[in-house]
Structure 1
Amino acid sequence: MFKNVIVRTPGKSYINGLTTSDLGAPDLEKAMEQHQAYIEALKTCGVEVTILPSNEDFPDSTFVEDTAVLTPEFAIISNPGAPTRNGEIHGMIPSIKSFYGNIYYIQAPGTLEGGDILQVDDHFYIGLSSRTNLEGAKQLKEILEKEHYKATIVPLEKFFHLKTGISYLGNQTVVAAGEFIDHPDFIGYTKIIVPPEEEYAANCIRINDFVIIPAGYPITKQKINDAGFQTIELEMSEFQKLDGGLSCLSLRF
């Protein structure tokens, strides 16, 4: 069960954030509305939401997931791989320290972003991407194994982050798209398969009794409902424009 979530309000600079998409520039007003709806959905899931103020120095800083990896016992402060995002961690450390006494840090030249980290019960999957390098992945693996968790490093072929293409819903069930549908590291799990035209919906989040999913992906929604999960749909268009998904917008613990 999750008890706490940390989010950060998008700033005016959000429209200048990094992207690989060709979906156009975000509409700031709409992004703010969608972010508020996200917060309300989190509250529906029964968690306490800590809302951090916008950080205009870092346009992408609303994507707080990339700054840390949180477990029930300890936190790991990441080292984001994009140079313009690297300093975001300094604005997150005080908030994380307010919840955690045991904190680790990923050190350069290692880079690591939370979007590349998928926790499946006591097993962490660490994606190797353009933002998370092998040195960062090895550092995280060493920390996790020291703390009696299991860890597997997963090189990505296509997806931007690991969780762009796979999410864990509990009960040994994953939502999988693209390269993860038949990936050998995930053979043992029950899979909800996302069709290619709904690939964005692979990034969803299970929070207590609900699965929050992006709006507009009816096939995936139906499959998740049929698997016995209750869903909340949210419009995510203005975050999708900057390569962001539902998990990116929060740290959940």
Structure 2
Amino acid sequence: MKIDANMGPQLQAKNNQVTDEIKLAVSDSKKSNQVQASTPFSQAESALPDEAYRGKSDNGKLEVITYSSNGKLNIPSRYAEHRELLERVINSTSKLYLHDTPAAADRIAEEYEKTSADINRQVPGLSNKQWGFSIDSSGSLVATGNLTQQQKQVVEKTLNANEELVRAAQDFKSHFLEGLEIERGKVGTSQYWGKYDVTEENFADIIDFKEMVTQSINDNAERERTGYILDKYTWTLNIADQLSARAEATFAKS
């Protein structure tokens, strides 16, 4: 999605609070060239990837990002000179780390839980196999990992029979790829997820939805407390790990 005055859907950031780094960007324009989280973290957390802090917490009071009728972000006029940076940071953070992409991830987790028992029933011994699944450039779910051809066919048929799971995976990929583009902006580089070269063609080689779900799943108590199937912070770390392990940092800042 290109960010300019002539376009920009009415993106409503909902169900979450805007992170501290966005508040810092808006409240202190002098520091806008280096947007960082304003909340201090413990020494034990200091080694975590910077992008992980963007998804650290979304519990709290609802704050809404609003847009004018022409699609431009509503910000005070005194910050107009920093509009491109603020729009890029706020829109990419909303789409990648807080709202659209993690919401699709939660839907994937919900639907996969409904389907996994059927898969394991049809393919005995599958729990002892190293396998995963993703979505290819045609929009179909594909099985990956240590499976025989017959097992792969059964798994893919069962996964794709769940239309809600397919739609959630398609939404995830769409939001994710769009968010990467927004994050790079006109400068074409990023220090966060946008630095990685993920495309329609190589997405299935990089993002494993099964790993994402199994590594980030909330227990029942946390689901009840937060309303999320996946733990947002752990999910952010897992996606960062997958990107680091399998994608090229082609668009990293030099």
For the criterion TM > 0.5, the same-fold answer is: no
TM-score of the aligned structures, taking structure 2 as reference length:
0.28
> Of Structure 1 and Structure 2, which has the larger fraction of its residues in strand?
1
TM-score of the aligned structures, taking structure 1 as reference length:
0.28
> Of Structure 1 and Structure 2, which has the larger fraction of its residues in helix?
2
